[in-house]
Structure 1
């Protein structure tokens, strides 16, 4: 202390410095002990609250739990749509990222847990009765969580999982690109009929944004029905089925800028032949030929964005109607040029005047039909 005082020349600094030096010499071990004392109960509490396997002496029931009225077993199902990853209309498939919660009540399970003094525990997927749900239209499915059932002493059996799956679908593209599609995930029970199982769907929700940006989710609903497995021993074999259906609507902005507006401009340019003197047949035919070639080249460029299907869509009708308007304008130019060459200028000009109104009005009509205005 005297040495420090000689160096600093201030006794107050020495007094304020001593507690720090003494704490550094003797306080750090005590600080570590206090920190461990506070941390250890938290670790113990975490380990104590972890869900343990159900190691009971008695086996869990493997038969369907019967309600008191003897009716079907009520299964509660809840979905949450994390992400709409992809929709491939050409392959007739879509990919979803889903959270699925399934639960039901079995008083026999609750009695076993209360007898063993266990509040909650978990069992392997096939160690207890379950509704045996099979994804009917699943192509590839991955489960992010362990496939186990969580049991409670109240008798509730619950299963949770996050599922990333690709599913098949039957898309109707006749209204493309103004189409609305149904993405259905279909589950069936291979062992139980609609008289034995009943599903209660809780409110489903979804994330605000999805990876697949070309579609928007308009509605989500679920329903149960029966699935016909065919005839067995002269009797219809019906099994339980329920569907989780996502209604999606295609975003049209891309097709407006990439298809609709370029087509309208190509068609409108061909109408310039109606304002050119019929005697100048060379200019008229040059414009018509050039627009025909431009439209054909444009149609080839559309092959990458139009669906490859065997029937005509709304977009196909609009494209081929535009091609027809360009072709008819070219034919009209040849007719008026021929009339002018034979000295029938008045008739040629009258035909041009009529086409100046008929062609735009006709194209406006097909445009209104395309956008479902009429």
Structure 2
């Protein structure tokens, strides 16, 4: 499906527009090798990272520069489609609002400059296996749909941006840019392969883990302390022991439904899922121990039942501490 999208965009990009003002439409200095396009980024803001849709919203300015001596001396702004241009587009684009006019400026030294501001929603495959300790890579991927790597070379020039972004639950850091070549074929046999130059400007996103301490860890600790209380109740008090341990299980199950608003909707278990289900197993173990100790107490072995409760008064918090260190340290 992705290859078909690339092929469609290449077809659209290959359409030549006729310039009413007679500006050259062919690539400048074709015999001298590939045209070098210098690319700069300025990140105004990253507003949102959507776990469910696996996308992020960015407000970014992208500047392209290339040489074309045929346009030397022109002082007015020229429509982008009226001249030759590298036809560079955002590859992982889902939705966009372009804010600047589609025009280029002729700078000194025969340099053509095209600057555009995009308010865009961009796709990004997110891996939630380590959630909420996951580190995500957010790319802005540019592709020259109209030309091969032998015709256009994308060269990262410079990047800048705001010191702080408005996305509240993530810490965003700049990684940098890398260039590569993307390949797509019309058919699965791979006999006809199209190559296009690609540039990825990437960010690293880390979650603010304090939110999950308060929203997940703290309520779970309260539920675990509630289940721990069963070891302090006289084992002959069957109703009290079973009632406390059963209430702990039901409370935890209700809490799991609340977690649906926090956990990403994926088909595999995340790090947080494993912690929650381990905690559920520990609470269920307290319930089983309550049944065993009350059974021994009813059979006249109350001393053994008391000894069993005493052992787990000490073992239960130790086991939970070990689990806590494994998952949250």
Matched, 1:227 2:182: yes
Alignment of 1:67-106 (within 5 A): 70-106=32-68
Of the structure 1 ranges 81-90 and 230-239, higher mean CA displacement relative to structure 2 is found in 230-239
CA distance in 2, matches of 1:213, 1:305: 15
CA distance in 2, matches of 1:270, 1:212: 38
Matched, 1:66 2:29: yes
Tell me if structure 2 keeps the 8 A contact 1:222–1:243. yes
Q: CA deviation at 1:108?
A: 2.8
Tell me if structure 2 keeps the 8 A contact 1:225–1:242. yes
Q: Which of the residues 297, 303, 306 maps onto 1:346?
A: 303
Tell me if structure 2 keeps the 8 A contact 1:194–1:225. no
TM-score for both structures, normalised by structure 1: 0.77
Q: CA deviation at 1:218?
A: 2.1
Alignment of 1:1-374 (within 5 A): 59-66=22-29, 70-110=32-72, 113=73, 118=74, 120-230=75-185, 234-371=191-328, 373=329
Large movers: runs of 4+ above 6 Å: none
CA RMSD of aligned residues (A): 2.1
Structure 1, unaligned stretches of length 5 or more?
Answer: 1-56
Structure with the greater relative contact order (CA < 8 A, sep ≥ 6): 1 or 2? 2
Cα distance, 1:356–1:195 mapped onto 2, change above 3 Å: farther
Q: SS of the counterpart of 1:257? A: helix
Q: CA deviation at 1:99?
A: 0.9
Q: CA deviation at 1:347?
A: 2.7
| Cα deviation code 1:192-237 (max 9, x no counterpart) | 1223222221332221232221111022321111111116783432
Aligned residues: 308
CA distance in 1, matches of 2:208, 2:235: 44
> Which protein is bigger by CA-based radius of gyration?
1
Structure 2, unaligned stretches of length 5 or more?
Answer: 1-19
CA distance in 2, matches of 1:365, 1:108: 71
Tell me if structure 2 keeps the 8 A contact 1:109–1:153. no
Tell me if structure 1 keeps the 8 A contact 2:39–2:158. no
More helix by share: 1
Tell me if structure 1 keeps the 8 A contact 2:154–2:197. no
| Cα deviation code 1:164-185 (max 9, x no counterpart) | 0111221111111111111112
Q: SS of the counterpart of 1:121? A: coil
CA distance in 1, matches of 2:21, 2:79: 15
